[in-house]
Structure 1
Amino acid sequence: MVLISNRYGKARVRVLRLTRDGDRHEPRELEIDVALEGDFAAAYVAADNRTSVATDTMKNLIHVMARERPEAGTEAFLTALADRFLAAYPQAETVAFEARETRWVRMAFDGAEHGHAFTQDGNGHGVASLKATREGATLWSGVEGVAILKTTQSGWADFFRDAYTTLAPTTDRLLATRLDARWRWTATPERPEATNAAILEALLRVFATTYSVSVQDSLYRMGEAALAAAPGIDRLRLACPNKHYIPLDLSRFGLAHGDVAFLPTDEPHGQIECVVGREA
Structure 2
Amino acid sequence: MPLIRNSYGKGRVRIMRVDRDSPRHQVRELTVQCMLTGAFDAAYTAGDNRKVVATDSIKNIVNIVARDHVGLDNEAYCEVLARYFLDRYEHVDAVEITASETRWVRIAVDGAPHDHAYVLDGNGHPVVKVSASRAGTTIVSGISGFTFLKTTESGWEDYWFDEATTLKPTADRLFATAMEASWRWSQPPASYPEANAAVLAEALKVFATTYSPGVQNTLYLMGEAVLAAVPEIAEISFACPNKHYLPIDLSPFGRAFDGQVFTPTDEPHGQIECTIARS
TM-score range, shorter chain: 0.5 to 0.7
CA distance in 1, matches of 2:186, 2:258: 50
Tell me the residue number matched to 2:141: 141
CA distance in 2, matches of 1:263, 1:150: 15
Q: What is the CA-CA distance between 1:122 and the residue it aligns to?
A: 2.6
Tell me the residue number matched to 1:262: 262
Equivalent residue letter for 1:204 = L
Residues 193-244 of structure 1: CA distance to partner in whole angstroms, max 9, x if unpaired? 1000011100000001100010000000000000001000110011110110
Equivalent residue letter for 2:139 = L
Q: 3-state SS of the aligned residue for 2:267? A: coil
Equivalent residue letter for 1:160 = W
How many pairs align?
159
Tell me the residue number matched to 1:215: 215
CA distance in 1, matches of 2:153, 2:230: 27
CA distance in 2, matches of 1:188, 1:261: 46
Judge which range, 268-277 or 137-146, deviates more.
Answer: 137-146
Normalising by structure 1, report the TM-score.
0.56
Q: 3-state SS of the aligned residue for 1:154? A: coil
CA distance in 1, matches of 2:135, 2:155: 47
Q: 3-state SS of the aligned residue for 2:216? A: helix
CA distance in 2, matches of 1:180, 1:188: 22
CA distance in 2, matches of 1:126, 1:183: 12
Q: What is the CA-CA distance between 1:190 and the residue it aligns to?
A: 3.2
Q: What is the CA-CA distance between 1:189 and the residue it aligns to?
A: 3.1
Q: What is the CA-CA distance between 1:178 and the residue it aligns to?
A: 0.7
Q: 3-state SS of the aligned residue for 1:259? A: coil
Normalising by structure 2, report the TM-score.
0.56
Tell me the residue number matched to 2:35: none
CA distance in 1, matches of 2:264, 2:143: 23
1:186 and 2:186 are equivalent in the alignment: yes
CA distance in 2, matches of 1:174, 1:138: 37
1:124 and 2:146 are equivalent in the alignment: no
Tell me the residue number matched to 1:204: 204
CA distance in 2, matches of 1:189, 1:258: 47
Judge which range, 182-191 or 215-224, deviates more.
Answer: 182-191
Tell me the residue number matched to 1:154: 154
Runs of 4 or more above 4 Å deviation: none
Equivalent residue letter for 2:220 = Y
CA distance in 1, matches of 2:272, 2:232: 25
Task: Report the RMSD for the aligned CA atoms in angstroms.
Answer: 1.0
Q: 3-state SS of the aligned residue for 1:145? A: strand
Tell me the residue number matched to 1:229: 229
CA distance in 2, matches of 1:204, 1:133: 35
- Of structures 1 and 2, the one scoring higher in RCO (CA 8 A, sep 6+) is 2
Equivalent residue letter for 1:162 = D
Tell me the residue number matched to 2:170: 170
Q: What is the CA-CA distance between 1:138 and the residue it aligns to?
A: 0.6
1:251 and 2:260 are equivalent in the alignment: no
